[in-house]
Structure 1
């Protein structure tokens, strides 16, 4: 009888410990980033190969002042970012200042002008969903992904990045999507193991085409070295 009571006591202790452990390791819900307002631009200069932007953005209740410069260099997109939190009067809190230097390889080659001139009239109607992965929701970070993944010119990518962020702030889309949708025309050619593409058309947040990101985008790219 004593042995049975002892065994029952041990089982009860183990059960209690297991219950406590199970409660402890339950994952808490993942908090989504919330953009409280759109980009408040202070300065901006977008070109085909670079972006410069200084702007305010409020994420998760904190208003930050970002200064970003990104440029296409040697088939990389190089982005330098300085961020600092500001108070309600937009005074900088110097202790929060951070700088970041990121070099991202561009997965596509987009110097295809000779291809463009040869095949300019072979366009066909085309739609395509481009899958994307964003780690941050700053203008520079989103621009980097668009340049490196799709092969867009830096300036076009910057405009689309801004439109995505503002669309979230305005409640048009719930968050920065993991893909964007192209509707327009595409020209394709194969040569010496390479595939050449030329696109022209419009970008939307998804295939419903309710949220327009940028009209009349054209760019070239190729697969293969």
Structure 2
């Protein structure tokens, strides 16, 4: 459906001019912004939430009674290595969606460490029609270290093309923090490629602090999931990083 037609249809339902396609009644709805649950009927049309109705008053082509269950937004797994689950992307989707995860931000580092960018493109193709919405980060450190015997190498020039893919959100966890801190040209070129593409850079900076952390965050690395203490978490938040727990 064209965007304008979709907007008009949702507006008509929201304003009460047309009936919704789906009404979920009898649910306790989580308001993640005000941090509270509230009772209402939820109206949905064309895959979009069109609004609410007083409990038990919502009208729609199809009505689902939640029976007092809790209704939450879909969970977003903001950092996952699907291959570490030993499941295919399709089976991963089958397992996580029934548990409430509807979106995953995937860093296929282990797969690309063996198969190179072919591993990333396989993942993109395999998740094209899965129930879970999958977005990807281009692995930044393949191989992870110069001491590793990997099946592939992904250099700065190699990350440019995949960064243009609409489901690629940026550069995956920058594990080579010594390379960042010491201004290694190859590492900086990867970060620049992500920034020029308008994409983000994920972080990986265990145990670094003070001037080293200042240097690491100065190139706009915006997240970290390696904090080992509350102090490390606060140090990174003060420097503008998001912390993944």
Specify the TM-score bucket, using the shorter chain as the normaliser: under 0.3
Q: Which structure's residues are more often helix, by fraction?
A: 2
Q: Which structure's residues are more often strand, by fraction?
A: 1
Structure with more relative contact order (C-alpha pairs < 8 Å, separation 6 or more): 1
Greater gyration radius = 1
TM-score, normalised with respect to structure 1: 0.24
